[in-house]
Structure 1
Amino acid sequence: MPYLSETITAEGWGLSDMSQISDPAGAGRWLQDPVHRAGLLENAHRQLRFFDRTLRDDGGFDVMNHDGTPLPRAGQELHYTTRMVHAYVLGRAIGHPGADRMIDAGMAFLWTRHRDAEHGGYLWSVDETGVHDGLKLAYGHAFVLLAASSAKLAGHPEADRLMADVAEVLDRHYWDEAAGLHREEFARDWQPVSTYRGMNANMHSAEAMLAAFEATGEAHWLERAGRVLEVFTDRMPRANGWRVPEHYTEDWQVDPDYAGDPMFRPAGTTPGHSLELARLLLQHWDLSGRPVGDVPDRARRLVETALTDAWRVDGGLAYTLKPGGEVDIGDRYWWPVTEGIGALASLLKLEDRDRDETWYRRLWRFADARLIDRERGGWYPELDDDGAPEGRQFRGKPDIYHALQAELYPLAPGLSRQVEGLGAL
């Protein structure tokens, strides 16, 4: 498949003045605008070229500084390895050169380095000496399932082995059948380390189970994803002003006073997760045959509440909110913007509404002006109060996963089977 990047130059895309990604020439909707679509594809290739350099001789992946040089190693985390596999399956779908090499490396690293041959399951972080952090998180295991499912869609020969292994671990240690949700965390030898329960790990488990259903057709993945999504896109938001509490006690009661790791478990609610949940809810509904019900309305309530609460007057989305919707942490990260783009693209594919189009354009304009590194590739993950790249919370450019999905999912023909659909671009 010929790359659009071969025929569309940076000047032709308008990278220097944002004119193409944020203001396509046509007067129609951006999802159908050929210049906007070509710009998204070109930026996806630019990102992939940047992250190509992360692969090390030992098969691991470095985290890259803003300028594309490797940062000092501090242990390779499970979610980084797995997301690289998923991202390069998307890259493979658009014909990115060398994608198979990256997928192969990530799959091998998961099986030989992250997989705990002694106790089972997957280690959170590994380094040259072996185990860097032996914690076993539902969050990380969800991404192992996502990587295996994506690799299976790409026809990788080791995907079935990885999927069977992580599915057994999830079922044995994490799945709480009575609650219809996943438990959170264990020590390396599977001793409980806390009674904490979290929304974030369950949201990503739903994402992974939807991918597993798409890869295998096995209905139990769809059923379990639906149970998780019912809690966090219906029961909890209805009781909390269409915001989604992040933190819970062992018996799944909201824990409003909890505050943990500022990156993964900040206090309050996280509007970016509401946007992500809305997209996953629509994906599940689509894979379920679009049954009659209120799913599109619920997705819209989640999206509109999050955007209204979190949009800052100087652009970008605040990271966290207090329970009533007041901004708590106003820091601006890249990933809530990417999830807003994905959610709005899904809504626009269902129904042509001016308000959704306005928000879709607003988020892309902000991303193009402040987050996308048009010279070197990748997105800056964090901004200071003046809108310049910052590094308080994130080292370098730690992630391709969120931004690549924002660039490619709007191009997919529907709400689901995105990896397969991208092959028609």
Structure 2
Amino acid sequence: MAEMLPSLMVPTSSWLRRSVHRRWLDHQGLRLLDFSKPSRMKLGFGPLDEEGMLTPGAPPDTILTARMTHVYAIAAMRGVPGCLPLAEHGVAALRGGLKDKLHGGWFTASPETLKTIQEKRKENYLHAFVALAASSAHVAGVAGASALLKDAAHIWETHFWSEEEGVFRESFAADWSDEENYRGANSNMHSVEACMALADVLDAPIWRIRALRSAERFIHHFARENGYAVPEHFDRNWKRLDDFNHDRPTDDLRPFGMTPGHFVEWSHLLLKLEAALLRQDGHAPFWLLTDAIGLFNTGMKAGWSRNGTGGLLYTVDFQLEPVVQNKPHWCQAEALTAAAALLKRTGQAPYETWYRKIWDFIDLHMIDRKKGGWIQELDADNHQSEVVYPGKADLYHAWQATLNPLLPLSPSFATAISELDG
């Protein structure tokens, strides 16, 4: 069934329709896939340094393992050699040594490397990526993926989904006790992505409804009332925690303040959710489009080139003044994905302009043509930095940015690839 949105409104002059640009995207995606292949470890995958080498002594990382599994499963479906064995390796690790055999679920690293009670907590952020990886691997026909998908969906639904609140809970102790007094926009944002994948792969519309409920609370309620700037941190009673991590402004997952990169990431997720709901039965709330536009506009106004050097910065305070002016690569990737999604959805010229401008910035400042991969972070003056993100551990954001413009807004990655090539 074709996507029920006016993608044909994209002008013929758009980069999205240019064969050279589409080949360029494919080429960049293949370069990223090759660069990250050495991240394979005996158990799962680990972080790469600036040179593309495994960080000495680093344990396997479960979030990276899930992300690599997701990416290499889809790349295998596209016919890229060497990717299926990596996806199989990731599935085996998630079913094996990275899983908690006693209580179920996953830790952020192999259990024997975790020393403190805090390190042994089970996080929604991670479990959303395990569910995403399992769904993509299942579609790709990776050995063991169907069992992993069944397990991951059950654990995620049973322990993390809050039917009463319509959001995902944040974290628990190893035995699923001691629920954290926190509700986070970041983990729920990635949960929306994983929910849409599960809905497609399992043919289970309930997961789309969960995605919609989470988006409605965090975006249509909290962000819309805040001028489409997304508050990130709440307690379990939904009190905003505006001072949360005030002493840790460069935290990689829960920094102080607000993150314009998340504003734009939510933007394209809302458009994908709208497309998925329209594809399902022809109906979707109109606010998904309205809010997506508002999020993109606020994110780019708050975060883009605040000091005149281009790029989207990391964090702002609640007056939208810069806090951390370093520019993570993932912020740029999500901004261009949002611009492309809005261009497909509306056909409006300003989104084409943004799409080209963001790619120009990435091409000139972040694509590392000497050592490979993307530079993960720049400082305010576009010099390489490692304040928030050391090395070159992340493949997921950059690689998806090279594939997103080539695909319709719905269905999700793995299902879209299977339908396009089927």
The whole-number CA distance in structure 1 between the counterparts of 2:226 and 2:409 is 30
Q: Would you say the 8 A contact 1:233–1:281 is kept in 2?
A: no
Shift of 1:27: 8.7
1:6-405 to 2 correspondence within 5 Å? 28-56=13-41, 58-126=42-110, 129-131=112-114, 133-192=119-178, 194-259=180-245, 262-289=251-278, 291=283, 293-312=286-305, 313-405=308-400
Shift of 1:64: 1.4
1:412 aligns with 2:401: no
The whole-number CA distance in structure 2 between the counterparts of 1:225 and 1:329 is 30
Give the direction of change, closer, same or farther, for the CA distance of 1:421–1:189 in structure 2 (3 Å limit).
closer
Deviation string for 1:218-245 (max 9, x for gaps)?
A: 1111111111111122111121111110
Letter of the 2:289 counterpart: P
Letter of the 1:146 counterpart: L
Q: Would you say the 8 A contact 1:40–1:408 is kept in 2?
A: yes
**Corresponding residue SS for 2:97:** helix
The whole-number CA distance in structure 2 between the counterparts of 1:343 and 1:93 is 24
Letter of the 1:280 counterpart: L
Letter of the 2:105 counterpart: G
Deviation string for 1:54-76 (max 9, x for gaps)?
A: 113x2422321221222113322
Shift of 1:298: 1.4
Q: Would you say the 8 A contact 1:212–1:221 is kept in 2?
A: yes
The whole-number CA distance in structure 1 between the counterparts of 2:83 and 2:231 is 37
Shift of 1:325: 1.6
Identify the range of structure 1 (223-232 vs 160-169) with the bigger mean alpha-carbon deviation: 160-169
- Percent identical: 35
Q: Would you say the 8 A contact 1:113–1:130 is kept in 2?
A: no
Shift of 1:123: 1.0
TM-score by length of 2: 0.90
Q: Which residue of 1 aligns with 2:4?
A: none
Shift of 1:281: 0.9
Deviation string for 1:33-71 (max 9, x for gaps)?
A: 111111110010011111112113x24223212212221
Q: Which residue of 2 aligns with 1:12?
A: none
Give the direction of change, closer, same or farther, for the CA distance of 1:62–1:249 in structure 2 (3 Å limit).
closer
**Corresponding residue SS for 1:328:** strand
The whole-number CA distance in structure 2 between the counterparts of 1:341 and 1:90 is 21
The whole-number CA distance in structure 2 between the counterparts of 1:338 and 1:224 is 25
Q: Would you say the 8 A contact 1:346–1:415 is kept in 2?
A: no
Give the direction of change, closer, same or farther, for the CA distance of 1:218–1:195 in structure 2 (3 Å limit).
same
The whole-number CA distance in structure 1 between the counterparts of 2:174 and 2:47 is 25
**Corresponding residue SS for 2:110:** strand
Deviation string for 1:146-170 (max 9, x for gaps)?
A: 1111111212242221122122222
> Greater relative contact order (Cα 8 A, min sep 6): structure 1 or 2?
2
Q: Which residue of 2 aligns with 1:21?
A: none
Give the direction of change, closer, same or farther, for the CA distance of 1:74–1:187 in structure 2 (3 Å limit).
farther
The whole-number CA distance in structure 1 between the counterparts of 2:20 and 2:37 is 26
Q: Would you say the 8 A contact 2:263–2:299 is kept in 1?
A: yes
Shift of 1:317: 0.7
Q: Which residue of 2 aligns with 1:14?
A: none
**Corresponding residue SS for 1:125:** coil
Identify the range of structure 1 (277-286 vs 377-386) with the bigger mean alpha-carbon deviation: 377-386
Segments of 5+ residues of structure 2 without an aligned counterpart are: 1-10
The whole-number CA distance in structure 1 between the counterparts of 2:12 and 2:239 is 49
The whole-number CA distance in structure 2 between the counterparts of 1:155 and 1:109 is 16
TM-score by length of 1: 0.89
Shift of 1:207: 0.8
**Corresponding residue SS for 2:324:** coil
Q: How many residues align?
A: 398
The whole-number CA distance in structure 1 between the counterparts of 2:70 and 2:378 is 26
Deviation string for 1:294-326 (max 9, x for gaps)?
A: 322211111111011101120111111111222
The whole-number CA distance in structure 2 between the counterparts of 1:217 and 1:27 is 34
The whole-number CA distance in structure 1 between the counterparts of 2:370 and 2:78 is 21
Shift of 1:130: 4.7
Q: Would you say the 8 A contact 2:125–2:188 is kept in 1?
A: yes
When the two chains are superposed, the root-mean-square deviation of aligned CA atoms in Å is 1.9
The whole-number CA distance in structure 2 between the counterparts of 1:213 and 1:372 is 34
